[in-house]
Structures are given as C-alpha cells and as structure tokens.
Amino acid sequence: MKAKPLIPLLDYLRIHSVIRSVLDSVDARTAHACMFFSVAGSAILREFYKKDARPVAGAAFLLVDEQRRNAMSFATLTDGQVQSTDTSFHALVNRPGFSRHL
C-alpha cells in the first residue's frame, strides 16, 4: 500500500528552498541545520496545511541497507549506551498518531 504524500511534492520543494535560502543568507552551515529545518517545517505544516506536526530531536538511526543490516547513526555510544549530544543528533518533523510501515 502506497501512502499518500503529506503535502504536494512541489510545495515541499518550495518550502525546502525557502528555508535553505534563509539559512544561506546568514552563512549558516546548512549541512548541519536539521534543527532549523524541523522547527520551520513544523510551523509551516501547522499554520498553512493544518497538519499536526512537531519538531523533535535526539539520537536517530536510519537503516540504509536492509540486507547487510547497515545503519547510519546520529548518536554517540558511551559505556554501552546510545545517547544524543549537542553534536550527535538529528532533528525531524514528527506527526503524532501517524505511522507508516515500510
């Protein structure tokens, strides 16, 4: 079952472009700007699209190769515990009550 996009792709691309241009205008390190993207993106989704969206941040793992079980991590391993820190984290937009199984 294919999930319906949250918003139209062209709207998403326009929003990303605007947020990126704001960051570029102040010489921000856009490669590390996930927090700003998640806060601004959530605000836009709530205000203009009436979607329940919230910025969240913390340790994150993305499975990049299911067959080999390779994952990319945004976290620190300390004493056998996974932790987020001020330099090892990822921020994203969360939609409470929304789940999608791949």
Q: How far apart are CA 11 and CA 22, in angstroms?
A: 17
- Domain boundaries of the chain, sorted by first residue: 9-94
pLDDT of residue 72: 92
Q: How far apart are CA 96 and CA 53, in angstroms?
A: 7
pLDDT of residue 98: 62
- Report the mean per-residue pLDDT for the chain: 88
Task: With a cut of 50, say whether residue 102 has pLDDT above it.
Answer: no
Work out the pLDDT band at 6, boundaries 50, 70, 90.
Answer: confident
Q: Which residues pair with 55 in a beta bridge?
A: 93
Q: Which residues pair with 73 in a beta bridge?
A: 61
At 55-93, the pLDDT tens digits run: 999 999 999 999 999 999 999 988 999 999 988 999 999
- Tell which wins on pLDDT, 32 or 84: 84
- Fold of domain 9-94: Atu2299-like (3.10.550)
pLDDT of residue 1: 63
